[in-house]
Amino acid sequence: MKRPFKHGIQDHFYQFELNHKQQKQLQQLQREFDEKPAKTPIFFLPGIFALMLVVSISVFFNTSLISTSPSLTQYIAQEAASNHLKQKPLEIKTSDISEIRNYFTELDFLPATPDFLTSGQQQLLGGRYCSIQGVTAAQLRLQADNQHPIQTLYEVEYDPVAFPNLPRLEANQSPVIEYAKGIKVKIWVEKDILFVLTAQDDL
């Protein structure tokens, strides 16, 4: 009597079934494979070295750019010195600070007299509109007398976000001194106004 087709198929596959010993050998091989660290194919190594080289060069140049890029005060000094050298015509000529305040109506603050001007050593000649780092400013022209060079004083509304970490005179902090285009530039905050002054070395 012939066995059903289904049983024939089962018998055929059962003869290929692993015995207990063979199963243990297979499990041991699997454990050894899992414990061995994966080896990187040799053809991947040049690509990895190239990637490491690119990253190293990128870090080097980014670090160099950061370390050599001008600071905020250097940018301010360069702009102030450049405008000072141009000596564009004054829009208002006066020695009266009240007239200066009445003229600069487009500012969001009233131009003030810094403490060093109260000594009377510098005379106000007049002013004109300008900007410092894109912020509208008053540009005032000063001179002690005909024997002394003209100085330029810039006044900008102080914004600690736009102009961070600048010294405040009320906190007994000294002005930042920068040199640009051969000109000494002093930068400080006083009366909530950012002042930028071109000066001689002895001023």
Q: What is the pLDDT along the chain (203 residues), one digit of tens a residue?
A: 444 444 454 454 444 455 556 656 666 766 765 665 555 555 545 555 555 654 455 544 444 333 345 799 999 999 999 999 999 999 999 999 999 999 999 999 999 988 877 666 788 999 999 999 999 999 999 998 777 889 999 999 999 999 999 999 999 999 999 999 999 999 999 999 999 999 765 54
Write out the two tokens for 12. Answer: 């055929």
pTM greater than 0.95 (yes/no): no
**Assigned token pair, 10:** 């089962």
Residues 154 and 132: beta-carbon distance below 8 Å: yes
Q: How far is the C-alpha of 100 from the C-alpha of 111, rounded, in Å?
A: 7
Strands 151-157 and 183-190: unpaired
In three-state form (DSSP H/G/I as H, E/B as E, the rest C), the secondary structure along 83-144 is: HHHHCCCCCEECCCHHHHHHHCCCCCCCCCCCHHHHHCCCEEEEEEEEEECCEEEEEEEEEC
**What values do phi and psi take at 49, rounded to 5?**
-60, -40
Q: Which amino acid is at 145?
A: D
- Asked if residue 157 lies in contact with residue 107, where contact means CB atoms within 8 angstroms, the answer is yes
What does the alpha-carbon distance between residue 202 and residue 135 come to, in Å, rounded to a whole number?
Answer: 29
How many degrees, rounded to 5, is the angle at CA 120 between CA 85 and CA 122? 5
C-alpha separations of 25 from 20, 28, 197 in Å: 9, 5, 87
Domain ranges of the chain: 5-68, 72-199
